[in-house]
A and B are shown apart, each in its own frame.
Chain A
Amino acid sequence: MTISLHDVHDAGRLVRWGLDVKAVPGAHEEYAQLLARYRLEDAFRETVLATCAGLEIDVLSVDDQGFIIAPRMGSIFSLSTMNDWESGMDPQSRRRSGLVLLTIIAVGYPTSDALERTTVVRVRVSQVERALREAVRVIEDAEPDDSEAQTAAHEIGLMPPVKPGATRQLAKSSTLAAIRAGFEHLVDAGMARAAGSVDGDPEYQLLDRMRVNVREMVLPDTHVTLLGHTRAAAVIATSAATTEPTNEGALA
């Protein structure tokens, strides 16, 4: 396999288009041509993939929608600090923001099968709001009063759906504002598009990039991290239960 400098240049160009999350091949001739080369020329494809590997980038999908890539954890192309996501958030707000995002995903892709269909999904803010409150209700019914889950659920449950802010915009501490902020982040990342509103209820379209990203990265990565923490928490709880003296132990 002979690779020319021209191929290397073009491979770099294709990665550049992949990093431009809002660009679509149908609107940029060079992008479309490079995608065609990627599909038809084995040597070029391997050069592109090797370039991506060097840049710590995963290729998630290559199709008519474009060259969909994602940075690996710690890559120069991934968020470096959480302030890059949204500045000035305290840990509670960050947790709430994450739970809102998870709810958007749950509403948009209620089953694993939904992640396998190349369908653009419409989701309204009110649907996410309802799903969020329903999840909170489940926790409040099921968990003991002093549990962490109960505290977190209570925090979300206390948020008013709408709260006017000083500048006539929704206050950040309202559920609808938190949900809209979540959607707007997705719009910025090229994963969603605003689609007007239905009776004043904002609606968004979750694009194919979102589906691919959720399936390939969001769910597996989040799941693995979550498992690590739940196992760690379980080990700590077990260890505490076996080492802490009980009344019976003290008596014995």
Chain B
Amino acid sequence: MVAQLAPSLLDASFYRRLRVLLRTAPFHRLRELRTRQSWPTERIYDPMAMAAAAVDQVVARSGLVNEYDFDTLVGDLASLAGLAEPDAAPSEWRCVAEWVVRSMLGEDESTTEYSVEHGDYRGGYRLTPLRWHLLREVQRADGRIVLTASVEVINAMRTGLDLDVEDAQLAQETVLRAQLERGDLGAAEDSADEGMRLSLEFAAKMRDLLDLTRLNLDAVDWESQFQSRVDRALAHIEARITAEHDMIEHLSTSADFEDDDVRRRALEIREKIRRCLTQHRTLHGLLITAPKVFLEEQLRQSLGGRTRSRLRIVVTEDLFLPTLALDLERATDVVSVLQVALAGPTPRRLLHLGAIITSLLHTSSDDEVVVVPEEIVTLAERPSDELDPDLLDTAYDLLRSCRQGPRLLSDLLVETDDPAASELVRLLAQLLFDPEDTEARSAGFAGDATLPLEGLGSALTGRTFRAAGYYGDDLLVGAADLVAAHPVQSAANVVSLPIGVSP
């Protein structure tokens, strides 16, 4: 029946063309959704053109040191948006650009790929899923997180036809050769651009193959599938390397380029071909060592002590909800295992006794500079009406305990787990030392703040301390007449530090 109605529906090439059409859907969707965003509907931004330009730019810089990252691409697209609507605010341009890039990274917030189904009439009608991504973020060896374009989107942007990249490379190379031989450098430059895109597409395809192999070791048939594909790819690359080498040679030795403009063009074409050559040489090296992908994985599994997990776990259903259903003791046990696994390796630092003793014996000099990080927000910046009465009681109780005998501020600060209570203790101790303490005053303490601490006073000890996230002059807090015996100095300086920061 299908054969009579529409015979092409039984042809594999029909579905390749159909998939190419489907893969442009996200671009059309951007155009549809552009009027439903936060900027005014009358704006004439073209997110579809911006997205297509983004793919071109990402592909052009792929593998180079200046590969695009998220922020750089958003910045460049924001500039394009600015050209479209010069009177709009730059923040709006950025908003448009960020929406375009985020849309290209994933269909919505919960996935990094697009997914659609299409009808397939071969062997009876059924819906076949098609999943792909436009851009994705990957981490490079130097830690940078950069954007890459998928094989599918490079292909779609290249010709709109689902041509095999190897065949397309051969065809493009033949055309380029002919253009160079007849001296048509204008056309050759375009062909060289196309050649670069094709070599990147081919590289992406091969990397996908290697990734897939590593991830699905159990499923790959080494003898019949992987090895033959790698052999074919190697033969293809070797032919490209030879051809590119010849073309570079031709452009270097040709005597026809006497005109400055012609010579400049020739140099540009040569540079583009050289990039293809570099790309192909790198890929060649990668494929030559491809058999090691298997050996590495096998050895890792045998000696690494852990075989790859093939569990199909849906986190919410298989872990979250069942953990919630356990009693507290069992749930915390499960959670502990999770935390241990997520913490990764946590190497202990061994004690270096010499360094510790030196550190303990070190006393700070008067000119020691304490740098207070700007981002630290202390209670001193809070308006007085925010002081929590419960916290104040805790702080007062702690300080009143000094009536039994003098105590060091450094000891008092570690007595409570609540950093807010510690902060109040610090400020009150400073008020006991200096009733005009400006920091305590600006924190909202009135002159009668120390009334509940009647009879108490504080004095400098002449020592510095570091405890509970604080660093500074240690104070002795106790009965006023006792601590008054200590020499009085002009100021006490205790500052808060973030945990883990040493002065």
A→B interface (CB under 8 Å): 18-19, 21, 24-27, 32, 39-40, 42, 45-46, 49-50, 52-53, 57-60, 62, 64-66, 69-73, 76-79, 82, 84-85, 88, 91-92, 94-95, 97-99, 101-103, 105-107, 109-112, 114, 116-122, 124, 127, 131, 135, 138-139, 143, 147-149, 152-153, 165-169, 185-186, 189-191, 193, 195, 198, 205, 207-209, 213-223, 225-226, 229-230, 232-233
Point out the residues of chain A lying under 8 angstroms from B289, CB to CB: 39-40
A155 to chain B, nearest CB (A): 10
- Complex contact A120–B137 (CB within 8 A): yes
| CB-defined A-B contacts under 8 Å, sample of 19 | A19-B345, A32-B141, A45-B299, A52-B303, A58-B304, A59-B300, A71-B346, A82-B336, A91-B328, A99-B324, A119-B133, A119-B137, A120-B136, A120-B145, A166-B391, A166-B419, A189-B342, A207-B145, A222-B337
Return the contact of A226 from the options B111, B319, B346 (Cβ within 8 A). B319
User: A119-B112, A167-B419 in contact; A229/B143 too (CB < 8 A)?
Assistant: no
B→A interface (CB under 8 Å): 70, 98, 105, 109-112, 133, 136-145, 211, 215, 289, 292, 295-296, 299-300, 303-306, 308-309, 311-316, 318-348, 377-379, 381-382, 386, 388, 391, 417-420, 423
Q: A12–B322 Cα gap in the complex (Å)?
A: 41
- Complex contact B334–A229 (CB within 8 A): yes
- Complex contact A191–B338 (CB within 8 A): no
Q: A11–B381 Cα gap in the complex (Å)?
A: 53
Interface centre among B109, B143, B417 (most CB of A within 10 A): B143
Q: A135–B323 Cα gap in the complex (Å)?
A: 12
- Complex contact A101–B338 (CB within 8 A): yes
- Complex contact B137–A122 (CB within 8 A): yes
Q: A241–B382 Cα gap in the complex (Å)?
A: 58
Return the contact of A208 from the options B139, B318, B321, B337 (Cβ within 8 A). B139
B326 to chain A, nearest CB (A): 6
A220 to chain B, nearest CB (A): 5
- Complex contact B320–A102 (CB within 8 A): yes
Return the contact of A24 from the options B141, B323, B348 (Cβ within 8 A). B141
Q: Which residue of B lies closest to A222 (CB)?
A: B338
Q: A25–B144 Cα gap in the complex (Å)?
A: 11
Point out the residues of chain A lying under 8 angstroms from B391, CB to CB: 166
- Complex contact B344–A21 (CB within 8 A): yes
- Complex contact B316–A135 (CB within 8 A): yes
Q: Which residue of B lies closest to A190 (CB)?
A: B344
7 A-B pairs with least C-beta separation: A26-B142, A98-B335, A166-B420, A26-B141, A49-B303, A106-B315, A24-B143
Q: A79–B344 Cα gap in the complex (Å)?
A: 8
- Complex contact A166–B332 (CB within 8 A): no
- Complex contact A219–B377 (CB within 8 A): no
Q: A131–B326 Cα gap in the complex (Å)?
A: 20
- Complex contact B140–A39 (CB within 8 A): no
User: A18-B345, A105-B315 in contact; A82/B306 too (CB < 8 A)?
Assistant: no
Q: A101–B338 Cα gap in the complex (Å)?
A: 8
Point out the residues of chain A lying under 8 angstroms from B292, CB to CB: 39-40
Q: A163–B111 Cα gap in the complex (Å)?
A: 30
Point out the residues of chain B lying under 8 angstroms from A152, CB to CB: 324, 328, 331
Return the contact of A73 from the options B70, B340, B419 (Cβ within 8 A). B340
User: A120-B137, A169-B377 in contact; A49/B343 too (CB < 8 A)?
Assistant: no
User: A64-B140, A73-B340 in contact; A53/B303 too (CB < 8 A)?
Assistant: yes
User: A64-B141, A166-B391, A225-B333 in contact; A230/B344 too (CB < 8 A)?
Assistant: no
- Complex contact A185–B342 (CB within 8 A): yes
Point out the residues of chain B lying under 8 angstroms from A62, CB to CB: 296, 300
- Complex contact A112–B312 (CB within 8 A): yes
Q: A120–B337 Cα gap in the complex (Å)?
A: 24
- Complex contact A219–B343 (CB within 8 A): no
Q: A218–B111 Cα gap in the complex (Å)?
A: 21
- Complex contact B325–A82 (CB within 8 A): no
User: A105-B315, A119-B136 in contact; A114/B112 too (CB < 8 A)?
Assistant: yes
Additional 7 contacts, C-beta under 8 A, given A98-B338, A101-B342: A53-B304, A69-B345, A105-B315, A114-B112, A122-B137, A165-B420, A220-B311
User: A121-B112, A221-B337 in contact; A153/B345 too (CB < 8 A)?
Assistant: no
